[in-house]
Amino acid sequence: MINTISRAQFLRLGALSAAVLIMPSVAFADDNEITRDMILNDPEAPTGGNPNGDLTIVDFFDYNCPYCKAAAKSLEKVVKNDGNIRLVYKDWPILHPTSIIGARLALAAKYQGKYLPVHHALMDIPGYGVAQEKMIEATHNAGIDAAQLDLDMTAHADGIARLIKRNLNIAEAIGLQGTPGFLVGTFKVNQALNEQGFVQVVADARARQKAK
């Protein structure tokens, strides 16, 4: 279902498009805070598309989510064809014990500039409950330095864990009910979309930005 963010969420989170109000903090019991900047500009979160795009899409996904995998190809195609969308990847491993393995592999690959190849390789594995061995094999086949990946997974373990926790907190704060989830400007989409669906919500989000 595609919904605009509710008034209550808007007041709590602020506008989520790239050039609007600063979002107030949302405090959690562990004293972490979720801010607009953390959602859109977390320096540890991988990004794709046009870094200077006029619209930001935030993608929450799990490497064991078949619906995420179906939507990923459509989203990547729309981002490429559009040319003016910035894409923020939020690894959200909630579905299966190996989901966290996939997230750690991809996020560790970021330290050698290989997040996107590993992300795409993991998304290309069909099905749910993907075995850890398949994830490792797909990662190694994505053109990475496997020895360096092992070193980075150890050296950056705490930072990766903190990033995943931030992603979990953000998903909770904006009321996502499961994967996949997307923020497209001020629109929240909590389902898989095909190419036409993404094109439509992108157009709606840009129209809303212009109307402000």
Do you find a cis peptide bond into 46, omega within 30 degrees of 0? no
Domain housing 21: 2-211
Average pLDDT over residues 59-88: 97
Non-local (6+) Cβ contacts of 150 within 8 A are none
Give the tens place of pLDDT for each residue, 130-162. Answer: 999 999 999 999 999 999 999 999 999 999 999
State yes or no: pLDDT of 51 exceeds 90.
yes
This prediction has a pTM of 0.84
Write down how long the chain is. 212
State yes or no: pLDDT of 39 exceeds 60.
yes
Are the CB atoms for 43 and 195 separated by under 8 Å?
A: no
pLDDT of residue 115: 98
Helix/strand/coil (H, E, C) string of 69-99?
A: HHHHHHHHHHHHHHCCEEEEEEECCCCCCCH
Are the CB atoms for 50 and 86 separated by under 8 Å?
A: yes
Distance CA(156)–CA(48), nearest Å, equals 21
pLDDT of residue 212: 73
Average pLDDT across the chain, whole number: 86
pLDDT of residue 10: 29
pLDDT of residue 33: 65
Count structural domains, the chain.
Answer: 1
Among the listed residues 192, 171, 196, the one whose alpha carbon sits nearest the alpha carbon of residue 69: 192
Average pLDDT over residues 94-105: 96
pLDDT of residue 32: 53
State yes or no: pLDDT of 84 exceeds 70.
yes
CATH of residue 92: 3.40.30.10
SS3 31: coil
Q: How many Cβ atoms sit within 10 Å of the Cβ of residue 9?
A: 17
Among the listed residues 64, 60, 127, the one whose alpha carbon sits nearest the alpha carbon of residue 95: 64
How do 85-91 and 55-61 pair as beta strands?
A: parallel
Band of residue 34 on the pLDDT scale cut at 50, 70, 90 = confident
Phi-psi category of 130—alpha, beta or left, where left has phi over 0 and alpha has psi -120 to 50? beta
Distances from the Cα of 147 to the Cαs of 104, 113, 121, 139, 140, in angstroms? 15, 14, 18, 12, 10
pLDDT of residue 108: 98
The arrangement of strands across the sheet holding 55-61 comes to 2-4, 187-189, 181-184, 55-61, 85-91, 47-49
Give the tens place of pLDDT for each residue, 66-76. Answer: 999 999 999 99
